[in-house]
Amino acid sequence: MLKIVNVCGARPNFMKIAPLVRAYRQYASIHSLLVHTGQHYDETMSELFFRQLSIPEPDINLGVGSGSHAAQTAEIMKRFEPVLEDHRPDWVVVVGDVNSTLACALVATKLGVKVAHVEAGLRSFDRTMPEEVNRLLTDSIADLLFVSEPSGLENLKREGIDNEKVHFVGNVMIDTLMRNRAKADESSVLVELGLRPREYVVVTLHRPSNVDSPETFRTILDAFERILEDMPIVFPMHPRTRRNIAEMGMGRRVTSLSGLHIPEPMGYLDFLKLMAECALVMTDSGGIQEETTILEVPCVTLRESTERPVTITHGTNRLARLETTAILEAYVDRRTYRPDPARKPELWDGHAAERIAAVFQQTGLRRGAVGR
């Protein structure tokens, strides 16, 4: 029996872990446990996703909550260590690039438990992003690295990671998108918000580089003001963005913008429907760059760099510098952009998690052979 402890902690992890725990079930030889670190804990940031994506109740919830990077990472490590000591798994699987990813990978490595990283090799080459540091460190200690796009293979090769550990499997987030597309179509979110298909823009922003400084956020709002003359904007707001806007004293300006909807963070199905039907998306999220590529919805990423270059070369994404004119220029460009349905990133086909489970099953067989 191969025992695998799977870790999830923050919102973007849940879409990645859902197809994995499902795929393991094909193999009687795999026993999988689910640990939720509790990095995200609000109903709309966590439980709603478990229900909608039919993720089983976590076997263990570490309940860490918020904190500074050091405090949060340390707390996850402290609470995860006894879990591994109790369960002694063969593998710990971490996904993505959040603090929970790095914290649990570190704990496992130090206890001599093998680490597998799903979504390995992505690089923005910007170490001011906490996620970039999490990605680099996690990949450098992982024993198995599951890669979602060709740039990941190149990056890991350049960093000297042994090719034997690396598997190009595709994108687990797209597995979840494909599985839930039809269900999301039934969402009434457009009616509830009074929106018409292809006549609104979806915005998500939560990264420190965009929402922590009043100057930058003002630049973005100036662009939104102009875009609102053209189309309404729906901006489901991440809790850290909402809190920062209040702290920066910019709440009144935001609420005074006519045509700007700021609902609470949405569940997976409503948000998928909202993205699938919009004219274009403006975001600083990683996963949304990938989802819009598969949905064939134009995307403007409000960042200087992306760790997911395949969404530019084979998708609908483009970057925009944090200047009002650059944002508006990107908006106009994507308004008239027509995606080419024939160009899709390789292996983004809905079967990535099955490939990952098959690799684990093989490693289990090899281990069994050695043991005999």
- Positions touching ligand UD1 (CB under 6 A) are 10-12, 39-42, 45, 66, 72, 97-99, 130-131, 206, 238-240, 243
In the complex, minimum distance from the CB of residue 99 to ligand UD1, in angstroms, rounded to a whole number: 4
Q: How far is the CB of 55 from ligand UD1 (least distance, A)?
A: 16
Least gap, CB of 311 to ligand UD1 (angstroms): 15
The least distance separating ligand UD1 from the CB of residue 79, rounded to whole angstroms, comes to 15
The widest CA-to-CA distance across the chain, in whole angstroms, is 71
Identify the helix (H) or strand (E) that includes residue 109. helix 99-110
Who contacts 165 (Cβ-Cβ below 8 Å, separation ≥6)? 142, 143, 144, 145
Whichever of 30 and 62 has its CB closer to ligand UD1, that residue is 62
Q: How far is residue 87's CA from residue 159's CA, in Å, rounded to a whole number?
A: 32
CA distance 104 to 92: 8
Kindly state the smallest distance separating residue 358's Cβ from ligand UD1, in Å: 28
Q: Is-contact 254 245, C-beta < 8 A?
A: yes
Helix (H) or strand (E) holding 172: helix 172-185
Contact 107, 262 (CB under 8 A): no
Q: How far is the CB of 359 from ligand UD1 (least distance, A)?
A: 25
User: Which residues form the catalytic set?
Assistant: 206
Contact (CB, 8 A) for 96 and 130: no
Looking at residue 242, its amino acid is R
* Of the candidates 226, 207, 210, 238, the residue with the CA atom closest to the CA atom of residue 322: 210
Instruction: Closer to ligand UD1 by CB, 12 or 89: give it.
Output: 12
Report the residue number, 51 or 243, with the smaller CB distance to ligand UD1: 243
When the beta carbons of 195 and 234 are compared against ligand UD1, the nearer one is 234
Q: What Rg, from alpha-carbon coordinates, does the chain have?
A: 20
Residue 336 main-chain phi, psi, to 5 deg = -105, 5
Nearer to ligand UD1, 99 or 301 (CB): 99
Nearer to ligand UD1, 65 or 82 (CB): 65
Which 3-state string (H, E, C) describes 15-71?
A: HHHHHHHHHHCCCCCEEEEEEECCCCCCCCCCHHHHHHCCCCCCCEECCCCCCCHHH
CB 150 to ligand UD1: min, Å: 22
Helix (H/G/I), strand (E/B), else coil: 187: coil
Parallel, antiparallel or unpaired: strands 166-168 and 201-204? unpaired
Residues 116, 107: Cα–Cα separation, whole Å: 13
| Residue closer to ligand UD1 (CB basis): 206 or 303 | 206
